[in-house]
Chain A
């Protein structure tokens, strides 16, 4: 079974802390994605990566950075957590070749609360 594993299911951090959210996939996928999900807003893309050390901004990158040093791992970093970053964070991965390898797989999410 394909697995996308997020390091924590629930996380509580203090305002101003540096926060690391880790995502690991075991299918040798090129693409990896980070989203946040808030009520009524659907999934919003924060960053994505299509290769090791490559990253692209999504729609809401402000306040976040990412790291992809190895193909299987994509980290989301909150440099200085703020209360408006309280949210559900979802990681996903997929192959690049959408013709033959189609679907993206999602992790179960990390519910982050910043207090």
Chain B
């Protein structure tokens, strides 16, 4: 079973920040938090990952709580092309599996 819990769907207005939450209360010390998204009919695409510090790249920011039991993916200025299913997963290193849950369907509206 997936080790993460996400809301099934969210809406966001175009140009506004989209904040997608993820609960991973059973995360262990050596597990990383990863975010992927899947646009219709395509394979999932990597967005960002982190261990315990907040991370930012050209696509998004990742905020991980101090106890590491939850995180938030932030898309700072959502566009219509950000409409997708977003997956939060946790992974360790060598030899690890990669389990996805059902994800959050984000709909960006004009």
Contact = CB atoms under 8 A, between A and B. Distances in A.
A86 interface: no
Contacts of A94: 98
Given A59-B1, A96-B93, A98-B92, A45 B45 contact: no
A90 B42 CA distance: 10
B91 interface: yes
A42 B101 contact: yes
A50 B1 CA distance: 19
A104 B94 contact: no
A99 B36 CA distance: 17
Nearest to B6: A42
A102 B92 CA distance: 11
Interface residues of B, number: 27
Nearest to A107: B43
B91 A98 contact: yes
B98 A92 contact: yes
A90 B85 CA distance: 15
A62 interface: no
A50 B93 CA distance: 11
Contacts of A33: 97-98
Contact of B87 (A4, A42, A90, A99): A42
A89 to B, nearest CB: 11
Nearest to A98: B93
A82 to B, nearest CB: 23
Nearest to B42: A108
Nearest to A96: B94
Contact of B43 (A45, A56, A90, A102): A90
17 contacts: A31-B96, A35-B100, A40-B102, A42-B100, A42-B101, A42-B103, A45-B98, A45-B99, A56-B97, A59-B1, A92-B98, A97-B94, A99-B93, A102-B34, A104-B46, A106-B43, A109-B41
Given A45-B100, A106-B43, 7 more contacts: A31-B95, A33-B97, A33-B98, A42-B2, A44-B100, A98-B96, A106-B45
